[in-house]
Amino acid sequence: MLTVIAIGISGCIQQQKYWLIIFIVNLALHSALPTHAAPFIELPKANLQAHELGVIYLKGNLKSERIARSYQRLRAIPAANIIGISLDDQKVNASPGKFAVQKRIVDALLGPHIQALALAWDQPYRVGCMSMSAAFAFGYDADFCASGCQKTKHSAYYHSSSTAPFTDFNFRPTMMLAATTVENAESFIMRGIKSDDSQPRGDVYLLQTSDNSRSVRKIFYPTIKDAFEPQHAVNIVSSDSIVDRSNILFYFTGIKSVPHLDTLNFLPGAIADHLTSYGGRLTDSTQMSAMRWLEAGATGSYGTALEPCNFLEKFPNPLIAMWHYNKGASLIESYWKSVQMPGQGNFIGEPLASPFSGYRLVRWKNTVRLYSPILRQGQYSILVGQLASGGLPMPSYLRQLNTIATQRVSQAKNYIELKPPYYPFYRIERL
């Protein structure tokens, strides 16, 4: 097995497409390539990048601005992507009229390359009859609202393969950096960063509680167990809680308030939520706020800000969220793609967390096998090229690339095989 260390991730543009470049060192290959040389391997884009994220804060709210600036610094987000707006932070519900004015300001300042948004506050958490996340994503639209137990407009982004939601659907999925303190926000931001390319084999907890009306997602549990074992240990538990557990990557339950969170240990990048009416009332809920999950160690969570009733479509489908996450999508993409009717729900946490975005190289006989969750079943081209003068990295759209092979990735062959002679630059492109 090869010792591989991914030490740099960046985006580059080719014909309005973004690609993931991962810098690999310590790759000693038997070829004309010197053993000290560092090849570059470029994979098809699998998730949103920092330069595609806009960060919005509330003017005059020191906590909000500090969270935004801290997030910008920690994730290396361009300063031009940071925008301040004016909403009353003393109210939980922003008026649709005042919101519409601020939304127009944001839209005017954001370029078309911005694909998603992060909101650096916890209050206000709703806009009229919509959640704050959904209002920023879609604009204020009463079709996403419900009066009583009714279904709402569907999201076209649901379970899509898109890696550019604004380009493809003209909307920006939105996640709130919701925290009671700047320090709490920085904690879950750092967990998101730490999770990147960690390839965790974390445990899954799927709870069927004594609250049957809030345990409706149990219908997905057997399929999840079949789909994700043995990659993850999937635990289907009939209980109101779990106690003294560690190595948690996913925790889905249904109950008003989740006990014993202080006894749990979550992995960086963990997703956890509880299906209940008001988990998205972040600061004044009569039930448990979704923010408690982040304070307990999760990196992302979800809750509804208005009465949704227990329609499955209004809550994350754990099967879909886990599938996209395990295929390299970021937290914000995976979570948003799992909710069919998101108009009443708030997504909170660190948007760019991507635990399954990287790859591993394994020597096999006289070849090297490239394994990555990003490589879904299908046909791929392998293109190669040279480094720029001085051995510096060069975006693929500035290179002269040659296709040397095409290979198919399947359930039986879940890797790309690199054969001698080896090159200093590779690009893997899905056909």
Q: Quickly state the pLDDT bin for 413 (edges 50, 70, 90).
A: very high
Task: Of 159-163, 378-382, 423-427, give the lowest mean pLDDT range.
Answer: 423-427
Cross-strand partners of 11: 20
8 A C-beta contact, residue 347 and residue 135 = no
What angle separates helix 62-75 from helix 182-195, to the nearest 10 degrees? 20
- Residue 212 tokens read as 């049957």
| pTM score, whole prediction | 0.90
- Residue 8 tokens read as 């740099």
pLDDT attached to residue 4: 39
Q: 238 in a domain, yes or no?
A: no
- Other C-beta atoms within 10 Å of 42: how many? 23
- Residues 36 and 169 reside in one and the same domain: no
- Residues 274 and 385 reside in one and the same domain: no
- Residues 28 and 66 reside in one and the same domain: no
Which residue, 78, 110, 100, is CA-closest to 10?
78
Over residues 191-209, the pLDDT tens digits come to: 999 999 999 999 999 999 9
- Residues 29 and 99 reside in one and the same domain: no
Could you list the residue range(s) of the whole structural domain that residue 404 is in?
A: 5-46+357-366+379-413+423-430
- Residues 255 and 404 reside in one and the same domain: no
Q: 372 in a domain, yes or no?
A: no
User: Is 20 a residue whose pLDDT tops 50?
Assistant: no
User: Is 33 a residue whose pLDDT tops 50?
Assistant: no
Q: 221 in a domain, yes or no?
A: no
Q: 264 in a domain, yes or no?
A: yes
- Residues 38 and 61 reside in one and the same domain: no
Over residues 136-164, the pLDDT tens digits come to: 999 999 999 998 899 999 999 999 999 99
Q: Quickly state the pLDDT bin for 39 (edges 50, 70, 90).
A: low
> What letters, b where the CB count within 10 A reaches 16 and e where it falls short, cover 382-397?
bbbbebeeeeebbebe
Question: Distance (Å, rounded) from C-alpha 34 to C-alpha 31?
Answer: 8
User: Is 277 a residue whose pLDDT tops 70?
Assistant: yes
- Residues 154 and 296 reside in one and the same domain: yes
State percent of the chain over pLDDT 70.
Answer: 88
In the chain, the largest separation of any two C-alpha atoms, in whole Å, equals 69
> What letters, b where the CB count within 10 A reaches 16 and e where it falls short, cover 219-228?
ebbeebbeeb
Collect all residues with Cβ–Cβ distance below 8 Å to 421 and sequence separation of at least 6. Answer: 31, 32, 33
How many domains, the chain?
A: 2
Q: 322 in a domain, yes or no?
A: yes
Which residue, 89, 148, 145, 158, is CA-closest to 324?
158
8 A C-beta contact, residue 205 and residue 197 = no
